[in-house]
């Protein structure tokens, strides 16, 4: 069978191959003859294949097979060479792309260096042209060698004393710090028989004055001399003030704090005949003053302080601001009134008995049968503080009536007590009588918190009080609460306000807030390891601004204008007159042309003022303020590798001054941890305890106004950081950041809920990625109620909500959200606090607790988001947008649109 198959195959080959060869040779022969070419040798050998025998044919077939194998091997070799060449080409292409990328980076780096060089040249030119010194903190001057004794001048009546002719400014140099000398207690209460015991309240007052940081024990270093006097009648009759050791003959620069009697219903006040010959050129501080003795802008009316809140948090003693309208429209709690005035009050009460409550029998007490039947039920208010307090808490307005004109007084203890109680309980004071002198009125704008009506307006008072809208009522009450908390709430505050008022009067800046030390987590002998190199994020190749050396923000440049130009705002808008800040977010920008006409130092207008986009925009900060930088503050806790990754992403960020890492962990960093060199200093601060409040401490290493607070796991692009910084420069008093949140009302149970869902309005920007002004670090640490910081430590949560409350409370403005970024993702990060199930419950609680502390909810809603100019604008091909990477593109990528 096999032989048969072999014979058939050979026969088929012998028949088919000759035919095929004949056809091909004929065709090739014809083509060859047509072109004049000779046939190949192997073809010519096949021409006579039909003449070959079986053995020779077999050899020819084997030869053809060898030729085939040789050709196949050669083809395989060529294919291998082709693949090798393709591999080399791809490698070269990749190297070419890397070279192009490196060339682009080098070009960007060169552009940045050129921009930095240009900025350095401008800075050098400014330094050469600067003709005014940079101001610093006030430095004390040497004390006077002696205080001369001035002979008493009987012709100079103290009735005409003012700051020009009765105060010696040479003892209070403006370049020094304000200080006072306090006379010992032995001069406080003296009678004919000698020294007598002082009351508890006087001892408290003396102790507070003794603990003041402005107190000096050397009289030669003092600006003023303070003596506290009790039992005024005995003092005036039996003691001559010239016996005070530092009276210097005429009592100049002396402040006599008169506390005349402990009974608030005592109407005694200093009369001119009793004081003219003994007070000399001394200033009087008292709650009681006669109309003809009080010397405006010289003597000082002090607030009531005997019933001030002794200790604890002030907020716990105060009612909330809302509702705007209370149970009663107005309340009057007694006093000496003219019969006609009392008759008018009763008419008003009869017309509207549900809105007005009038009581005429408090001071001095009247017989019960002399009280109108309609007010008998309120007669016990004079003797029961709890009932009087309850009535004030239920009243929108509290009427305070001055004594009759024949008493010739501008203020008494009872008037100051009524004013104090009204502000404390949130009842808007209505003063009947224009001669009333409120406390510290030379610095406090009382028109923002009380109403002063002439007596002739009593018949129209009903209509006027009912005409106020809720917004005005709440504004009056809020201002009254702020003034009460800041200036009158405690004896400590009254003393501080008195000293600050006088210091403002003579034009001396307050002492600055103290920056907290920034101890390095590394000791002096240990040097942390440096990371040799790291890969820069390819997304950060955009040229966003020059890389400049660290440039601190100018500090204390308004030392001498602080007590004049900014006096009103410090006392009546910010309620912070007691300390000075190195810089302020409320400084007003100059007109646009000022930078081109005489005030160009520090300004960096875009393209020299010609404007532009893209390249020109990135070369200069522009805007309305001079050049500046920002500091990154990053809180971390036992996430070293996450921290290192975040630090690396800050490499070559324009306008970055330094990075401050707040090391909250009790464990020191690993010795083999390698820190990246990002072009700016990295200062790692060791903290005393693990507290989220450490994020906002005013460290002395922070030398810029702008602070970028950022979590160690937040991933911000360079263009987002620079854009946020530029937006903050135009909103310096607000929080400017990226992740937005809002507070929502609980429709089922009432109260506030914290909400992190996407929303068309927001009220908070989280400080995990936000810019804010350093002044809020001082306020958060030194001025914000302790209860809020304690709550943050208790829950290890809500520090970002606390800062949002503080800033909105100070500004009455919402934060500013930038870009469409709403949250951050950190793949591979350890579990964070926000992933705990109780996280949101705690934040619900925080918002409601902070509202209770402030008395209202200061955070405001906003429906505004800041995006870059030319954000979605189509521009010519030869122009660039302000930022090459449009934020809308990121948003589309994240949402997979």
DSSP state letter for 369: G
Task: Return the DSSP state at 489.
Answer: S
153 part of a folded domain: no
pLDDT at 462: 85
Q: What are phi and psi of 358, to 5 degrees?
A: -120, 135
Whether residue 427 is found in the same domain as residue 563: no
Handedness of CA 648, 651, 654, 660 (dihedral sign): positive
- Res 160 pLDDT > 80: no
Per-residue pLDDT, 377: 37
For 297-311, 568-582, 715-729, 736-750, which range has the lowest pLDDT when averaged over its residues? 297-311
Q: Report if residue 686 sits inside a domain.
A: yes
Residue 597 covered by a domain: no
Instruction: Classify residue 632: in a domain, yes or no.
Output: yes
Residues 753 and 858 in one domain: yes
Residue 572: pLDDT band by 50, 70, 90 thresholds?
very high
Question: Three-state SS for 232?
Answer: helix
**Mind listing the pLDDT tens digit for each residue in 330-360?**
888 765 556 666 677 777 766 776 677 766 5
Q: Which residue has the higher pLDDT, 118 or 603?
A: 603
What's 640's domain CATH number?
3.90.550.10
pLDDT band of residue 851 (cuts 50, 70, 90) is very high
Q: Are 554 and 695 in the same domain?
A: yes
**Dist CA 425 CA 398 (whole Å):** 10
Nearest to 428 by CA among 457, 462, 393: 393
Tell me, yes or no, if 162 is annotated catalytic: no
Query: pLDDT digit string (tens) for 629-652?
Result: 999 999 999 999 999 999 999 998
Residues 535, 450 within the same domain: no
Asked whether residue 679 falls in the same domain as residue 777, the answer is yes
pLDDT at 120: 76
288 and 338 both lie in a single domain: no
pLDDT digits (tens, 9 = 90+) for 6-39: 565 655 655 566 666 655 555 554 554 444 455 4
Residues 189 and 41 grouped into a single domain: no
CA distance 568 to 566: 6
363, pLDDT greater than 60: no
Q: How many domains would you assign to the chain?
A: 4
Is the pLDDT at 498 greater than 50? The verdict is yes
Distance separating alpha carbons of residues 407 and 414, to the nearest angstrom: 14
Interatomic CA distance for residues 552 and 536, integer angstroms? 27
Tokens describing residue 3:
């032989």
Task: Give the DSSP H/E element, type plus range, for residue 227.
Answer: strand 224-230
- Classify residue 311: in a domain, yes or no: no
How distant is the alpha carbon of residue 506 from its chain centre? 30
Give yes or no: residues 567 and 715 share one domain.
yes
Q: Work out the mean pLDDT of the chain and round it to a whole number.
A: 82
Closest Cα partner for 144 from 166, 167, 168, 161?
168
Last residue of some domain: 458, 489, 520? 489
Identify the pLDDT of residue 829.
53
Cα 325 from Cα 794, distance rounded (Å) = 36
Quote the pLDDT of residue 142. 58
Give the DSSP H/E element, type plus range, for residue 884. none
Is 599 a domain residue?
no
d(CA 501, CA 404): 30
The CATH code of the domain that includes 454 is 3.40.50.2000
Q: 653-706 pLDDT, tens per residue? A: 999 999 999 999 999 999 999 999 999 999 999 999 999 999 999 999 999 999
* DSSP for 822-852, written as a single string: -----TTPPPPGGGSTTHHHHHHHHHHHHHH
Same domain, 287 and 332: no
Residues 403 and 540 in one domain: no
Global pTM reads: 0.83
User: Which segments within 323-383 are labelled E, that is strand?
Assistant: 328-333, 356-359
**Burial degree of 209 (CB within 10 A; 0-12, 13-18, 19+):** buried
Residue with the larger pLDDT of the pair 855 and 176 = 855
Question: 415-462 pLDDT, tens per residue?
Answer: 898 999 999 999 999 998 888 999 999 999 999 999 999 988 888 888
> In the listed set 301, 333, 356, which residue is the last one of a domain according to the structure?
301
3-state SS class at 767: coil
Res 272 pLDDT > 50: no
* Inter-axis angle of helices 491-505 and 200-210, nearest 10: 50
385 burial (CB, 10 Å; 0-12 / 13-18 / 19+) is: exposed
Residue 697 belongs to a domain: yes
- Cβ(450)–Cβ(305) below 8 Å: no
Asked if the structure places residue 641 within a domain, the reply is: yes
Q: Express each pLDDT in 870-885 by its tens digit.
A: 777 777 777 777 777 5
**Average pLDDT value for residue range 708-737:** 95
Q: Is residue 257 over pLDDT 60?
A: yes
Structure tokens at 836: 């705990």
Could you say which DSSP state residue 694 is in? G
Segment 186-213 shows an average pLDDT of: 73
Structure confidence at residue 193 (pLDDT): 39
pLDDT at position 723 over 80: yes
Q: Determine which one of 800, 837, 867, 878 is catalytic.
A: 800
DSSP string, 170-226: GGS-TTS---EEE--GGGTSEETTEE-PPPHHHHHHHHHHHT-TTB-S-GGG-SEEE
Q: What percent of the chain has pLDDT over 90?
A: 45
Contacts of 687 (CB under 8 A, 6+ apart): 662, 663, 664, 694
Helix 799-811 × helix 786-795 angle, to 10°: 160
How far apart, in Å, are the Cα atoms of 712 and each of 41, 138, 699, 795, 833? 81, 38, 19, 20, 13
Measured at the alpha carbon of residue 793, what is the angle toward residues 790 and 798, in degrees to the nearest 5?
95
108 and 166 part of one domain: no
Pair of tokens at residue 557: 């440049």
Q: Are 585 and 732 in contact (CB under 8 A)?
A: yes
* Spatial distance between the Cα atoms of 567 and 504, rounded to a whole number of angstroms: 8
Q: Does one domain contain both 172 and 122? A: no
Share of the chain above pLDDT 70, in %: 76
Range of the domain at 56: 2-129
pLDDT-based confidence at 547, cuts 50/70/90?
confident
Q: Is the pLDDT of residue 555 over 50?
A: yes
Which of 37-51, 192-206, 353-367, 764-778 is the most confident on average?
764-778
Q: How confident is the model at residue 49, as a pLDDT?
A: 55
Q: How far apart are CA 377 and CA 105, in angstroms?
A: 86
């Amino acid at each position: 069978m096999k032989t048969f198959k072999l014979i058939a195959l050979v026969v088929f080959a012998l028949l088919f191959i000759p035919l095929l060869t004949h056809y091909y040779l004929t065709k090739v022969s014809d083509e060859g003859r047509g072109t004049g070419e000779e046939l190949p040798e192997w073809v010519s050998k096949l021409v006579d294949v039909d003449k070959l025998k079986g053995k020779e044919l077999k050899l020819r077939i084997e030869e053809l097979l060898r030729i085939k194998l040789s050709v196949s091997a050669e083809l395989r070799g060529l294919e291998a060479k082709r693949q090798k060449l393709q591999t080399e080409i791809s490698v070269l292409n990749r190297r070419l792309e890397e070279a192009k990328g490196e060339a682009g980076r080098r070009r960007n780096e060169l552009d940045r260096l050129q921009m930095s060089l240009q900025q350095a040249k401008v800075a050098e030119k400014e330094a050469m042209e600067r003709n005014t010194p940079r101001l610093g903190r006030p430095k004390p001057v040497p004390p006077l060698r002696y205080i001369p004794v001035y002979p008493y001048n009987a012709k100079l009546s103290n009735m005409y004393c003012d700051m020009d002719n009765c105060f010696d400014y040479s003892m209070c140099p403006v370049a020094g710090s304000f200080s006072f000398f306090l006379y010992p207690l032995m001069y406080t209460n003296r009678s004919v028989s000698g020294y007598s015991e002082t009351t508890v309240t006087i001892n408290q007052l003396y102790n507070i004055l003794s603990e003041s940081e402005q107190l000096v024990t050397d009289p030669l270093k003092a600006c003023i001399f303070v003596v506290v006097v009790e039992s005024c009648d005995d003092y005036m009759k039996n003691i001559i003030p010239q016996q005070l050791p530092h009276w210097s003959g005429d009592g100049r620069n002396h402040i006599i704090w008169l506390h005349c009697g402990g009974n608030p219903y005592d109407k005694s006040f200093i009369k001119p005949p009793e004081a003219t010959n003994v007070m000399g050129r001394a200033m009087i501080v008292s709650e009681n003053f006669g109309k003809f003795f009080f010397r405006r802008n010289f003597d000082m009316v002090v607030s009531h302080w005997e019933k001030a809140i002794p200790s604890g948090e002030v907020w716990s003693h105060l009612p909330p601001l809302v509702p705007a309208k209370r149970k009663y429209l107005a309340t009057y709690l007694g006093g000496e009134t003219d019969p006609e005035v009392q008759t008018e009050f009763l008419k008003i009460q009869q017309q509207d008995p549900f809105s007005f409550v009038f009581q005429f029998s408090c001071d001095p007490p009247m017989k019960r049968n002399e009280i109108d039947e309609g007010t008998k039920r309120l007669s016990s208010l004079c003797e029961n503080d709890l009932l009087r307090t309850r009535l004030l808490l239920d009243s929108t307005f509290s009427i305070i009536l001055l004594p009759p004109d024949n008493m010739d007084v501008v203020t008494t203890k009872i008037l100051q007590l009524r004013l104090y109680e009204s502000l404390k309980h949130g009842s808007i004071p209505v003063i009947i009588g224009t001669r009333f002198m409120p406390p510290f009125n030379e610095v406090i704008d009382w028109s923002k918190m009380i109403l002063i009506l002439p007596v002739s307006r009593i018949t129209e008072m009903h209509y006027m009080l009912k005409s106020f809208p809720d917004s005005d009522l709440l504004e009056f009450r809020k201002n009254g609460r702020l003034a009460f908390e800041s200036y009158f709430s405690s004896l400590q505050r009254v003393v501080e306000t008195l000293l600050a008022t006088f210091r403002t009067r003579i034009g001396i800046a307050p002492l600055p807030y103290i920056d907290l030390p920034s101890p390095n987590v590394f000791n002096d002998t240990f040097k942390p390891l440096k990371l040799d190199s790291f890969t820069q994020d390819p997304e950060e190749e955009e040229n966003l601004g020059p890389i400049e050396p660290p440039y601190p923000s100018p500090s204390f440049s308004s030392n001498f204008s602080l007590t004049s130009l900014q006096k009103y705002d410090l006392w009546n808008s910010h309620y912070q007159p007691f300390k000075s800040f190195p810089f302020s977010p409320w400084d007003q920008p100059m007109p646009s042309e000022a930078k081109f006409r005489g005030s160009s130092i520090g300004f960096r207008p875009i393209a020299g003022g010609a404007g532009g986009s893209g390249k020109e925009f990135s070369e200069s900060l522009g805007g309305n303020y001079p050049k500046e930088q920002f500091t990154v503050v990053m809180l971390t806790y036992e996430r070293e590798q996450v921290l290192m990754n975040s630090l690396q992403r800050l490499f070559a960020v324009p306008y970055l001054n330094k990075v401050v890492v707040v090391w909250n962990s009790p464990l020191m960093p690993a010795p083999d941890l390698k820190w990246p060199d990002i072009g700016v200093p990295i200062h790692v601060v060791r903290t005393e305890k693990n507290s989220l409040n450490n994020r906002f401490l005013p460290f002395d290493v922070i030398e810029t106004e702008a602070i970028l607070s950022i979590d160690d796991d937040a991933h911000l692009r360079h263009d987002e950081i620079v854009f946020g910084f530029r937006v903050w420069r135009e909103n310096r008093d607000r929080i400017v950041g990226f992740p937005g949140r809002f507070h929502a009302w609980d429709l089922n149970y009432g109260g506030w809920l914290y909400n992190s869902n996407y929303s068309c309005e927001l009220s908070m920007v989280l400080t995990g990625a936000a810019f804010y002004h350093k002044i809020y670090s001082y306020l958060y640490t030194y001025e914000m109620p302790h209860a809020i910081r304690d709550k943050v430590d208790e829950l290890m949560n809500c520090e970002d909500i606390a800062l949002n409350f503080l800033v909105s409370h100070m500004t009455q403005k919402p934060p500013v959200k930038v870009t469409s970024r709403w949250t951050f993702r950190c793949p591979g990060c350890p579990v964070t606090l926000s992933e705990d199930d109780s996280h949101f419950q705690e934040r619900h609680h925080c918002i409601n607790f902070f509202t209770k502390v402030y008395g209202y909810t200061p955070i405001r809603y906003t429906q505004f988001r800041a995006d870059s100019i030319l954000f979605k604008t189509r521009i010519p091909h030869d122009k660039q947008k302000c930022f090459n990477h449009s934020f809308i593109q990121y948003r589309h990528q994240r949402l997979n649109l």
